[in-house]
Structure 1
Amino acid sequence: MESQEHVKPTDIISAMSDNKDIRSLIYMVRGQQVMLDSDLAKLYKVETKVFNQAVNRNLDRFPDNFRFQLTKEEFDALRSQIATSNGKGGRRYRPYMFTEQGIAMLSGVLRSDIAVQMSIRIMNAFVEMRRFISNNALLFEKISSIELKQLEYQKSTDEKFDKVFRYIADHAEVEQKIFFDGQIYDAFSLITSIIQKAQNEIILIDGYVDVDTLNILAKKNKGTDAKIYTYASATLSNKDVEKFNSQYPTLTIKKTQVFHDRFIILDKKMAYHIGASIKDAGKKCFGISLMKDNEIVIELLNRLKTI
């Protein structure tokens, strides 16, 4: 499998829409996200018995934090969910659960093209679930019991379930987020979601922009203008800008040495402080912070007027 440092954002984002069904098969057991052996076997297109036999032949690759068998109490607690969602309530043995690390190991054990591609899809689904839970933890704590009941009612159909996610997208805001080295997908996904909040204008202050920066800005909403303030040494050429504008107008570039830190300003109303160039997001440890003081946003905009 290709390492995360070599995975381009444009390659990753295309798989996001394929992960909805997989996310519904992820359970929370012992405080971590896991998947059932039978569900994994189905995804990898093998029988559950054959699947577990392949794993048992390579047990040295699956320590307890990669794979574990449910206790009777855990199985009883999970049985109703399994029976309702997957129709597997009649299983005669306690299933094995695989953690994210265990699933990453499966592609090397099952040894097939399907296994490799499916492992990539499953890992992407885990990342999406982890990011969703992390970014909305505060929201879940603040929602009153009445609102929770309303949200649960909305989940009764797929259409109403989508409204819950739109509700969360409209009301939840990440104030601070830190990413560690290797979290390229998580960082790219969050920065993309920030870019897509803008309806009219995006201002990016980043001294080290390049073509990868444009790949991220290409995710902006149609009709949203983009302005980049960057160093004179930035590698973007006039031809790069022309190609971008031919498909995603309108982008303008201004050169300045005034700024050291990186900022994203949306619609002249909201600003984020970013600890690394967005083209390098996730390659090293960095943070993103929402700037809650509107006066600071105004000061930034006034400073830009002088350039």
Structure 2
Amino acid sequence: MQIIKSIQNRIYEIRGERVMLDFDLALLYEVETKALNQAVKRNIKRFPDDFMFQLTTYEWQDIATQMDSLLSNNINTNRSQIVTGSQKHRGNLPYAFTEQGVAMLSGVLKSDKAINMNIAIMRAFVDVRRVLLKQSNINEQLTEIKERIGEHDVQLSELYDAMENLIDEKIAQLKWNDRQRIGFKIKE
């Protein structure tokens, strides 16, 4: 469970896709980033643009900023791993692998560690998707509740208006009954 949490912290959203960066994957697979990228380049036909893409300078700066804020907010994060990963890419921009790209890595990297880690990564992606689906469902329910509350507000307003009219009529009736009578009084 701890490994899945660790993996989930390494999943970023870039270009509308949930991705993992090459140096994080290399760290998890216990290989050098250079070796991982070489294995990918040797099998580049397996990695179309929707499986893997290289970050732009702007995207990389954005991710590096997120990592820095993670470091300052979380004392449990292993700073040396993240700093080492970001230093490796000072000259080169990192590659981002989508869920399908990570799955394809299992066919490229054959070590037992890589296979076991790939299974854990796939589980982490599934957990992230599950959480997002639950959040989407909750958002739909909240929208429905807001609509119902809006309808109820209108109905309550109409009810209050009707009650005010009834109260006004009762007050008018009481005033009519309590008025001073004029004319002939008949004693019974």
TM-score by length of 1: 0.39
Q: Superposed, which structure 2 residues align to 1:145-294 within 5 Å?
A: none
* Distance in structure 1 (CA, Å) of the matches to 2:50 and 2:42: 18
1:76 aligned partner: 61
- State whether residues 70 and 94 of structure 1, in contact with CA within 8 Å, keep that contact through their aligned partners in structure 2: yes
Secondary structure in 1 matching 2:19? strand
What secondary structure, in the 3-state scheme, does the structure 1 residue paired with 2:10 have? coil
Task: Provide, for residues 47-66 of structure 1, a one-character-per-residue CA deviation record: whole Å limited to 9, x for no partner.
Answer: 11111111110000101111
In the TM superposition, residue 140 of structure 1 has moved relative to its aligned partner by: 5.9
Shift of 1:138: 5.0
The structure with the largest strand share of the pair is 1
Aligned to 1:105: 104
Question: Among residues 12, 22, 25, which one is paired with 1:40 in the alignment?
Answer: 25
Residue in structure 2 matched with residue 28 of structure 1 by the alignment? 13
Change (3 A) 1:17 1:39: closer
**1:6 paired residue number:** none
> Hey, what's the Cα distance between the residues in 1 that align with 2:54 and 2:68?
18
Per the TM alignment, residue 110 of structure 1 is displaced from its structure 2 partner at its CA by 1.1
**CA distance, structure 1, for counterparts of residue 102 and residue 117 of structure 2:** 10
Structure 1 position 39, deviation (Å): 0.3
Report the Cα offset of residue 114 of structure 1: 1.2
1:63 aligns with 2:48: yes
- 1:112 Cα offset (Å): 1.2
Structure 1 residue 141, shift from structure 2 partner: 8.3
Gaps of 5+ in 1: 1-15, 144-307
Say whether the 8 Å CA contact 1:19–1:122 is kept in structure 2. yes
Q: Which has the larger radius of gyration?
A: 2
Number of equivalenced pairs = 128
For residues 4-63 of structure 1, what are the alpha-carbon distances to aligned partners after superposition, in whole Å with 9 as ceiling and x for unaligned?
Answer: xxxxxxxxxxxx554111111100111111001000001000011111111110000101
Where does structure 2 lack aligned partners over 5 or more consecutive residues?
Answer: 71-81, 143-188
Q: Judging changes above 3 Å, is the alpha-carbon distance between structure 1 residues 57 and 129 closer, same or farther for their aligned structure 2 residues? A: same
- Identity, in percent, stands at 51
Instruction: Report the aligned-residue RMSD.
Output: 2.0
